[in-house]
Amino acid sequence: MSTRPLRALASLLLLCVLTVSACGSGERETITILGPWVGKEQATFEKVLADFEKQTGFNVDYTGTRDARAVLASNLHDGHPPNAAVLSTLGDLRAYAASGRLSPVAAGLPAGRGGDLTTVPGPDGARPYGIVVKASVKSLIWFPRTLAPGVRDRLGKARSWDELAAAASGLGRPWCLGFADKSASGWPGTDWIEDILLHRAGGEVYDAWVSGTLPWTSPQVRAAWQTFGSVVAAGSGDSLVTGYAAASARMFEPRPGCALAHGGAFITTLGSGPGARDADFVPFPKGGDIEIGGDVLGVFDRVEATDALVAYLTKEPVQRKWIQEQGSGAFSLSRAVPPAAYPDPLSRRIAQTLADATSVHFDASDTFPPVLAEAFDHAVLEYVAAPSRLEEILAALDRVQKASPPGS
């Protein structure tokens, strides 16, 4: 008998050992993820994914791009969606869920938070269609650590907007305001209006407004805009042409041009803004409610590996590693991750503010349909330029909202 068939069989067996994927029983399932994280964020996420691959045997192919929204839309149009994608707004999650593109997530939602935020209407009713992988805490008032102790004490004791405004009134030009940001100009003002409405009118009113059941012309929403107008009146006159980071940095000039900045935890990471060593904060009064932004993972092509990934990403050890690797600005919604787990004192204090909140609400602009979100940005610029046009501006926003219902 010739030895050639035996040699051929031996070669085939060796090939199976060296290239597992060539032999059906050893093939590892590969899933694709598209997301907006590049640079350090991508490197951190890939570390987390590497541990997932080791623990589960699945492969993950992550593609990070600053144009993730456009790339995802193109892939969906061409019929080649990724298995999962990290979405930068809850509005995108709502739109894809409503269109039937997304699959509901199976399990692993954060304990006590997160599931309700990503429970949105879909073809089969409201279900959780994603998980908040990384949250950014908003609803914070920032100031330099060099601020007079008496003023800092009054800010910390403020339990209402009126008390905060009174504490700020003795600071000359108190508010650092900058609304310019290229095509996204206006967004810092939308954050102001959202926080004022949330903390003065309460979570139920805020949620009704976000869902479209409370008109922009309602007394509560109008009052929030008018209060924002009082902030603008107490700020600098160049806010329409000043960027957010540049405005915040004025707190730290040798002769400060302002004393207070409203913004999220990301303020300490801005290149020209305050650093964690120089800045301190108080929560936006009154307490109880808090606003967040966040990156949300949605599943477009559900397979066994995507179910495993969703469950994995929401585990306490994984959430803990994620926030520790990310550093300042990244927060977990899981109650299983304590404030003490964060890597620096400032982050721990912000995490405690999040833990103390009785309710968590997503940034309204990030929840609105894109057309309405853009109209909101533009409306802020119009209002800052001409406050007397408020009624006209609010009526126009009502019309835009009626033409672009949630999920559109």
Please say whether the beta carbons of 33 and 42 come within 8 A: no
Same domain, 274 and 368: yes
Same domain, 200 and 344: no
User: What percentage of the chain has pLDDT greater than the value 90?
Assistant: 67
Q: Domain containing 96 — which CATH number?
A: 3.40.190.10
Asked if the structure places residue 11 within a domain, the reply is no
Among the ranges given (14-18, 74-78, 360-364), the one the predictor scored with the smallest mean pLDDT: 14-18
Same domain, 322 and 270: no
Residue 60's pLDDT is 97
DSSP states along 176-197: ----BBTBTTTHHHHHHHHHHH
Starting at the edge strand that comes first in sequence, how are the strands of the sheet with 261-263 ordered? 261-263, 140-144, 279-283
Residue closest to 153 by CA, chosen among 141, 167, 139: 167
The DSSP symbol for 171 reads G
Question: Quick one: average pLDDT of 275-299?
Answer: 87
Asked if the structure places residue 8 within a domain, the reply is no
Same domain, 250 and 196: yes
**Bigger pLDDT: 268 vs 278:** 278
Asked if the structure places residue 45 within a domain, the reply is yes
Same domain, 32 and 92: yes
Same domain, 228 and 146: yes
pLDDT at 28 over 90: no
Q: Which residue segment(s) compose the domain that 149 sits in?
A: 138-290+363-403
**Bigger pLDDT: 270 vs 189:** 189
Structure tokens of 103? 């699959």
Asked if the structure places residue 15 within a domain, the reply is no
Please say whether the beta carbons of 33 and 63 come within 8 A: yes
Question: Quick one: average pLDDT of 202-217?
Answer: 96
Residues listed for the chain: 408
Asked if the structure places residue 408 within a domain, the reply is no
Among the ranges given (34-48, 248-262, 387-401), the one the predictor scored with the smallest mean pLDDT: 248-262
**Bigger pLDDT: 170 vs 49:** 49
Residue 405's pLDDT is 79
Task: Determine the angle formed by the axes of helices 149-157 and 161-168, rounding to 10 degrees.
Answer: 170
Per-residue confidence at 328, pLDDT binned at 50, 70, 90? Answer: low
Average pLDDT, the chain: 87
Number of domains the chain contains: 2
Whole-number Cα distances in Å, 236 to 172, 250, 352: 11, 11, 32
Same domain, 278 and 298: no
Same domain, 42 and 164: no
Whole-number Cα distances in Å, 358 to 47, 201, 332: 33, 15, 16
Per-residue confidence at 13, pLDDT binned at 50, 70, 90? Answer: very low
Asked if the structure places residue 395 within a domain, the reply is yes
Residue 279's pLDDT is 86
Same domain, 250 and 379: yes
For residue 251, give every residue at least 6 positions away whose Cβ sits within 8 Å of its Cβ, in sequence order, or none. Answer: 142, 143, 144, 176, 257, 258, 259, 260, 261, 274, 279
Question: Quick one: average pLDDT of 155-163?
Answer: 93
Residue 124's pLDDT is 85
Per-residue confidence at 363, pLDDT binned at 50, 70, 90? Answer: very high
What would the pLDDT profile of 114-139 be if each residue is shown by its tens digit? 567 888 889 988 899 999 999 999 99
Same domain, 215 and 255: yes
For residue 229, give every residue at least 6 positions away whose Cβ sits within 8 Å of its Cβ, in sequence order, or none. Answer: 383, 387, 390
Same domain, 317 and 197: no
Same domain, 319 and 201: no
Asked if the structure places residue 259 within a domain, the reply is yes
Residue 236's pLDDT is 79
Neighbours of 260 (CB within 10 A): 27
Asked if the structure places residue 1 within a domain, the reply is no
Per-residue confidence at 5, pLDDT binned at 50, 70, 90? Answer: very low
Residue 113's pLDDT is 55
